[in-house]
Structure 1
């Protein structure tokens, strides 16, 4: 008999929703029922809409302000010197109250969070005894900030062994390194027809040049993207920029000689199969998808706050090159853009992350029930 799962996400960009949708798909394929809730919709008087707009505007126009907020409210204490995080955000209480009312009539068998506010809400409800089923947190960042941590949560599913270790040292009850959650299409070869369409376009636009994919996230965010595209084009690469929903950004990139500016791409697995390297700016879902697809990753000019934090986490784990200057970017592309031991080692490190299916653990937690957090102590991920 199928069970019911409630997934907490947030439309802050597309990354958290992408993970939530993949979890829901896998659970549905196994005969379970799922409901996905945007935690920002739980906030009163359209506060969630205001927070989303404020975040987008701040990270686009005043990144130094966002970085200051991130340092103050998100960064953890040094390992071993902090304590589990308890509701430091003022929006947790009203959101938790709203979710409690929603779940009262039809309680799920497990609560799953793919956004840090969801982790805070689930942990609070578990601590209060208002949630009597397991609360599972699926961490989508490559570096853990303290808003992901609440001692009430039962399990944290992490993208890397280092993030699992950071969760345990930060007070998480149980942390397992299972790898990022990405659609199966990124793990398997794409249809030749779709890859061929991209490959033919790239060959026509830059004959003999290796396509380098520049990611800007769903909102088309980034620093000096036109300058970066011009730099790559001027040194013999073919910059292919995913502009997301950033129409102004796409128009600006279309004026860069030798660059390919793409709008919203629906078949990202095929696009990944047609490029040589990903240059990322946020260490988000596009980076995770590249690791699954066997595309080496370079971080360059990451966005403020979580972008810098996660990019450093990826670099420290040996999952990407962190270029801090145009010279370092060109050197990283030279190392990773052509077949050889350096490129293969980076590809192997990325694919080695995917050790388990997060849904297996989520389903087991639901089957065993809430006492799972007391019966199963935290251990190595």
Structure 2
């Protein structure tokens, strides 16, 4: 193993010091637990290709047995939906003493996980990348358990850094905000290893059309306000309850509901909105239901307000679009942290309980100065170029092995 590490280190040194060295060999490792980690990795891949690189992007779970893959995904989502208090307790317990050095129990867990990820280790060894760039905390733990000495960087995909993100051997952490950077430094990470880049998102969010152009392209009435409901991640019950409340709102409003790949949520949205019978067409809410769509950047450009769960990527995308965010039913830990980030900085409001949604939404809609102030606050926090900032950092300040 020492020979492999030495060979990789020598290869890396030659590549970054020689004037005629080939482009940076970049391996991006994500994990498809939710969509955010993979979406961030794809944004990094896009930015790297724009710089003339040929990155390799792999999903950790593609290198694990099918049974583990299903269990890992399902267990996580079942827990956060049915036992959020337990998840919150467990997460805070694991985060009591954040640090990069692993405890015995954490080392045992990393080794157990490594046993089901041998294919990933083989890939890393065979590709001999100059840098391994992670958008999930599990892959660096696996590589550390095997004591692979490779230049590694981590992109933290939320507006908080749980202890699980901290791993020995990480040369650089890319974080969403100054607050996260301050936290890492407070728990022992040297300032030189932390970069405030923002959360990587697709370049499409930096190239979005104007609101008027987006509405025209999507066939949305220009004289009506637009609420974009990102339903993916909501339970069927929460979506049903939210739609029931929105149907009581009296305002010239178009509600665009995007359900992602969930056929269940599409069915719920179509059934609930089909039952809606407005008495006053001019002051009625109009509903539009979609499943998966590639037009999310355009819908965000068209919208006046986004309603949904504050995942790290969705939050970052909304900020890039200057879009106020109404938070619904955040998962414990990371989504709660994202919600707090939005609320503290004047970009968000919280629809909790759902029965207050019509009251809060109407108060927002009928207050143009507040709407403008929230848009300005969102734009001030936007980091649409986060993916390019990460790639630029790795190119301009190479990591030592």
CA distance in 2, matches of 1:288, 1:223: 26
Q: Does 1:146 align with 2:163?
A: yes
CA distance in 2, matches of 1:139, 1:234: 39
- Indicate the SS of the match to 1:252: helix
Q: How does 1:29-44 map to 2 (within 5 A)?
A: 29-44=50-65
* Alpha carbons of structure 1 residues 320 and 225: separation in structure 2 relative to 1, 3 Å: same
User: Who wins on radius of gyration, i.e. which is larger?
Assistant: 2
Deviation at 1:249, TM superposition (A): 1.5
- Indicate the SS of the match to 2:157: coil
Larger deviation, residues 188-197 vs 138-147: 188-197
1:198 maps to what in 2? 218
Unpaired segments ≥5 residues, structure 2:
1-21, 277-285
2:31 maps to what in 1? 10
* Alpha carbons of structure 1 residues 331 and 339: separation in structure 2 relative to 1, 3 Å: same
Deviation at 1:296, TM superposition (A): 0.7
- Indicate the SS of the match to 2:45: helix
Q: Is the 2:318–2:324 Cα contact (8 Å) retained in structure 1? A: yes
* Alpha carbons of structure 1 residues 304 and 209: separation in structure 2 relative to 1, 3 Å: farther
1:310 maps to what in 2? 338
1:21-70 CA-partner distances (Å, limit 9, x unpaired) = 110011012111211111123335642233123334444xxx23355245
Q: Which residue, 225, 229, 248 being the options, matches 2:243?
A: 229
Q: Which residue, 220, 227, 237 being the options, matches 1:212?
A: 227
1:172-203 CA-partner distances (Å, limit 9, x unpaired) = 44322222211222123328766424343xx3
Q: Is the 2:322–2:378 Cα contact (8 Å) retained in structure 1? A: yes
* Alpha carbons of structure 1 residues 328 and 157: separation in structure 2 relative to 1, 3 Å: farther
- Indicate the SS of the match to 1:224: helix
* Alpha carbons of structure 1 residues 310 and 185: separation in structure 2 relative to 1, 3 Å: same
Deviation at 1:114, TM superposition (A): 0.9
Number of equivalences = 357
Q: Is the 1:277–1:336 Cα contact (8 Å) retained in structure 2? A: no
Q: Which residue, 236, 260, 266 being the options, matches 1:250?
A: 266
1:238 maps to what in 2? 254
1:272 maps to what in 2? 300
Q: How does 1:1-381 map to 2 (within 5 A)?
A: 1-44=22-65, 46-59=67-80, 63-65=81-83, 67-73=85-91, 77=95, 81-84=97-100, 86=102, 87=106, 89-90=109-110, 91-94=112-115, 98-121=119-142, 124=145, 128=147, 130-133=148-151, 135-173=152-190, 174-190=193-209, 195-200=215-220, 203=221, 209-217=224-232, 221=235, 223-236=237-250, 237-255=253-271, 256=273, 257=276, 258-326=286-354, 329-330=357-358, 332-334=360-362, 336-337=364-365, 340-354=368-382, 357-365=386-394, 368-371=397-400
RMSD value, Cα? 3.0
* Alpha carbons of structure 1 residues 73 and 101: separation in structure 2 relative to 1, 3 Å: farther
CA distance in 2, matches of 1:282, 1:263: 19
1:67-105 CA-partner distances (Å, limit 9, x unpaired) = 524531466646xx5433624644543367543322222
CA distance in 1, matches of 2:326, 2:227: 10
CA distance in 2, matches of 1:277, 1:331: 15
Structure number with the higher helix fraction is: 2
